[in-house]
Amino acid sequence: MSHYQTLGVAESASPEELKAAFRSLAKQHHPDMGGDQAKFQQINEAYSTLSDQNARAHYDHMLRNPQPQYSPHAQHSGGGNPFEFNFNFNAGDPFPNIHEQIFQHFGFHTRQPQRNRNIRLTVELDFLETLNSQVKVLEYKTSNTTETLQIEIPSGVDSGTVFTVANRGDDLNIGIPRGNLEVAIRVKPHNRFFRNGENIIEDITIDCFQAIIGHTLTVQLPSGRTIELYVPPGTQHQSQFGITDEGFPRNHNAGRGKYIAKINIMIPTALTTDQLNLIKEIQKIRPINT
């Protein structure tokens, strides 16, 4: 399957058509949205090649000029010797690879051509950045030049995700193909939020008196919106309160997950004698947990 078929576009597709197809397929097949990792990497590799003008031109040339195939069961005309070989020399080849043609004639496979080494870059993202897709411009050095590459990172990307950009790695030896560029994602921890699938969790601590009589909290949500969160009287330890559409994108564009406030109840440890006596009086009026 060609890169064009992978993206579902024509070979004449414009850069805008390529980008639109990539965005649609990336959202559909992203692993964090239930997609297949191998399929997602295939889509990313196809777009990385076709979105680069030079890489696309080279790919189109290879697509239209495939290398000749040799069969170990080649037919020989007339009474010719089965051990005769028809070597096709190109005038531009300084030294034809005769040994390779002989090995292929008898069904032996020669070793695949070497490639230059891969280059790995790490892109750090703030936790809240990953709520939306990001376009990053990467600049890095190869053995022979300095490269600049624009890459789109989909929303909901998680730490440890690695995107592979074909043929954008090192170029030390110009006689063999370039290596690949590997872009590894690292999401920096947040001081309030942590991720649980499509949801964003925050631990909020109140004291036992606030839990008993109720309490209103001012909370800034992941989107930046500020709300008043009401904790009703009698709230128990580890109770959870959710706000919809404040988390990460769900599969198949089905909205977003939730922001979830998980309530931790703290028991005071430094009460005065008068405070303790008041609590005892309350317990006499109506024993607790009855």
Q: Are 17 and 4 in contact (CB under 8 A)?
A: no
Answer whether 115-189 and 194-269 agree in fold: yes
Q: Residue 43: count other Cβ atoms within 10 Å of its Cβ.
A: 24
Region of poorest pLDDT, from 104-113, 146-155, 228-237, 267-276: 104-113
For the domain made up of 194-269, give the CATH fold: HSP40/DNAj peptide-binding domain (2.60.260)
Percent of the chain, pLDDT > 90? 53
pLDDT at 76 over 90: no
Q: What are the sequence ranges of the domains in the chain?
A: 1-63, 115-189, 194-269
Q: How confident is the model at residue 283 (pLDDT cuts 50, 70, 90)?
A: confident
Structure tokens at 115: 């490639």
Task: Write down the H helix ranges in the chain.
Answer: 3-7, 15-29, 37-50, 53-64, 98-105, 208-213, 273-285
Q: Are 151 and 133 in contact (CB under 8 A)?
A: no
Residues 6+ apart with CB under 8 A from 51: 15, 18, 19, 22
Hey, which CATH number is domain 115-189, 3.40.640.10, 3.50.50.60, 2.60.260.20, 3.40.50.2300? 2.60.260.20
Query: Are β-strands 199-207 and 193-196 bridged in parallel, bridged antiparallel, or unpaired?
Result: antiparallel
Query: 1-63: what CATH class?
Result: mainly alpha
CA–CA dist 223, 246 (Å, integer): 6
Mean pLDDT of all residues belonging to the chain:
84
Which amino acid, one-letter code, is at 276? L
Which amino acid, one-letter code, is at 215? H
pLDDT at 83 over 80: no
